[in-house]
């Protein structure tokens, strides 16, 4: 079984049939990536299973739950961290996170299969290039050298560095000046990563222009 992205909402709502539920539980035991995503959905599952009498939730309730799990508001839980990351207000962070579902806000990214949303920061981050990178599943961001520090905060999906280190939603990765790495977006939802970049980065593969 691949990852459980397509059925985790049903798992959280308790609507899977018994064979599918058992298979999902077995998969979760051995898959750290899916466990991390399932942990995000547990409050919904626990809230529904806590009902004394099993009921069929009204359609509007199900719609609201699905909106929280899959709609523009699904990333609101990161609002405080994104606000601190970019040195903006919480309200502005919520606006940025909600806008990520709007195709018109994205520009082509530095590599094929990526898109970039530039973010206007607060004064504490003015010296850095700031944005949110979307990297489609399986796309590799080529190895590059940092001529300054780089900070990353994964909001959705995840990526694996060339050395095998994986970064999941809610985790941060800081790269020091003169460090280098390449990484690949994990299978599942596209990797959404808030990034701050000091100086520039130079790609170690021919045909790619520096970023910064």
Residues 34 and 88 in one domain: no
Residues 106 and 20 in one domain: no
Which tokens sit at 141? 């961001």
What's the confidence (pLDDT) of residue 85?
A: 97
For residue 173, give the CATH number of its domain: 2.60.120.10
Q: Is residue 2 part of a domain?
A: no
Q: Is residue 47 part of a domain?
A: yes
Last residue of a domain, one of 53, 70, 87: 70
Residues 175 and 86 in one domain: yes
Q: How far apart are CA 141 and CA 203, in angstroms?
A: 10
What's the confidence (pLDDT) of residue 171?
A: 96
Q: Is residue 27 part of a domain?
A: yes
Inter-axis angle of helices 32-49 and 18-30, nearest 10:
130
Residues 194 and 96 in one domain: yes
Angle, CA 86 vertex, CA 83 and CA 89 arms, to 5°: 35
138 neighbors 185 (Cβ within 8 angstroms): yes
Residues 184 and 99 in one domain: yes
Residues 147 and 119 in one domain: yes
Q: What are phi and psi of 176, to 5 degrees?
A: -85, 165
Query: Would the pTM of this model clear 0.75, i.e. be above it?
Result: no
Structural domain tally of the chain?
2
Last residue of a domain, one of 23, 46, 70: 70
Q: Is the dihedral of CA 23, 29, 30, 31 positive or negative?
A: positive
Closest CA to 147 of 199, 207, 73, 209: 199
What's the confidence (pLDDT) of residue 53?
A: 55
Length of the chain (residues): 212
Residues 111 and 191 in one domain: yes
Q: Is residue 209 part of a domain?
A: no
What's the confidence (pLDDT) of residue 99?
A: 95
Q: Where are the alpha helices (DSSP H) in 31-148?
A: 32-49, 59-70, 79-86, 90-99
Helix (H) or strand (E) holding 133: strand 129-135
pLDDT of the chain, 212 residues: tens digit per residue: 567 777 878 877 777 888 888 888 888 888 888 888 887 777 665 655 555 455 666 766 555 555 555 566 789 999 999 999 999 999 999 999 999 999 999 999 999 999 999 999 999 999 999 999 999 999 999 999 999 999 999 999 999 999 999 999 999 999 999 999 999 999 999 999 999 999 888 887 655 555 55
Q: Which range marks the domain in which residue 47 is found?
A: 8-70
Cβ neighbours of residue 152 closer than 8 Å, sequence gap 6 or more:
167, 172, 173, 174, 175, 193, 194, 195
What's the confidence (pLDDT) of residue 210?
A: 53
What's the confidence (pLDDT) of residue 34?
A: 83
Last residue of a domain, one of 70, 96, 116: 70
Tell the residue number behind the tokens 């049939």, with chain if given.
Answer: 17
């Amino acid at each position: 079984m691949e990852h459980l992205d397509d059925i985790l909402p049903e798992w959280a709502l308790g609507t899977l049939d018994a064979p599918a539920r058992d298979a999902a539980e077995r998969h979760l035991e051995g898959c750290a990536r899916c466990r991390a995503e399932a942990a995000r959905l547990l409050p919904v599952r626990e809230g529904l299973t806590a009902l004394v009498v099993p009921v069929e939730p009204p359609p509007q309730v199900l719609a609201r739950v699905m909106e929280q799990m899959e709609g523009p508001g699904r990333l609101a839980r990161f609002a405080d961290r994104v606000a601190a990351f970019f040195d903006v207000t919480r309200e502005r962070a919520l606006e940025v996170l909600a806008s990520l579902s709007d195709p018109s806000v994205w520009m082509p990214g530095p590599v094929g299969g990526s898109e970039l949303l530039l973010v206007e920061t607060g004064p504490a981050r003015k010296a850095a290039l700031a944005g949110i990178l979307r990297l489609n599943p399986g796309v590799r961001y080529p190895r590059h050298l940092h001529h300054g520090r780089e900070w990353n905060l994964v909001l959705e999906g995840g990526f694996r560095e060339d050395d095998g280190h994986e970064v999941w939603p809610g985790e941060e990765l800081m790269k020091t000046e003169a460090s280098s790495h390449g990484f690949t977006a994990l299978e599942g939802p596209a990797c959404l990563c808030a990034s701050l970049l000091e100086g520039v980065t130079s790609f170690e593969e021919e045909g790619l222009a520096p970023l910064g």
